Amino acid sequence: MNFLDKKVEEILKNHSSGEDFFNHLDDMIRGHKSIIDATWDKLVQWCYDEHLWVNRGIPTFGWNGLILTGAFGRAVFNYMPYELRKTFEQVILVNGGLRQEDTKAQILVNQIDVDDFILFDDSFYSGTTRNKIEEALKEIRQGCKIIQTVCIYDGGKDPNVTSLYKYYK
């Protein structure tokens, strides 16, 4: 059993489900750069496997867009700004708390330059966060879509999610 499996089991013992579980999981994840690094490696591998890397006319290769959310997104952006800018044509930070029913996604950019995005997030369950973000993207640029979610913890069964930890194996 790896480190992440142990930490998830530990959180589940004390916080069996719902918002309380995800809040504790989110807090734990933000404090472990090695977990962020491992998930970043999954994201990069998924892009290579899907042949989604495009030559942007510079010596590095990159892909269209990446979306980061809330406190996790800010932590990732502060931790690896160079890698994000080198790898993706556009990086968008979206507000957190989107699991809450009455919270609407706020796209924190003036302009969207690409159509296809990967959502890089700490956790995934029902797809509410992804769906709210995609809806907000389409309000700004009609052709936008989130084609993949890459996360640390996947508590759902969506085939368009790549993660380090899957609750449903």
pLDDT above 70 covers a percentage of the chain that reads 91
pLDDT category at 130 given cuts 50, 70, 90 is very high
pLDDT category at 148 given cuts 50, 70, 90 is very high
Task: Give tens-digit pLDDT for 57-90.
Answer: 443 445 789 999 998 999 999 999 999 998 899 9
Please name the helix (run of DSSP H) or strand (run of DSSP E) that holds residue 14, with its range, or none.
helix 3-14
**How far does Cα 13 stand from its chain's mean position?**
25
In this structure, are residues 77 and 69 in contact, taking their beta carbons and an 8 Å threshold?
no
Residue 90 confidence (pLDDT): 94
Predicted TM-score (pTM) above 0.95: no
Helix H segments across 50-169? 70-79, 81-87, 128-140
Domain of residue 30, CATH code: 3.40.50
Range of the domain at 10: 3-166
Mean pLDDT of the chain: 85
Q: Of 29-38, 89-98, 112-121, which gets the smallest average pLDDT? A: 29-38
Encoded amino acid at 87, one letter:
T
Q: Which two tokens stand for residue 29?
A: 């994840």
Task: Give tens-digit pLDDT for 8-63.
Answer: 888 878 877 677 777 777 777 776 788 889 899 988 888 877 765 554 444 344 57
Q: How many domains does the chain have?
A: 1
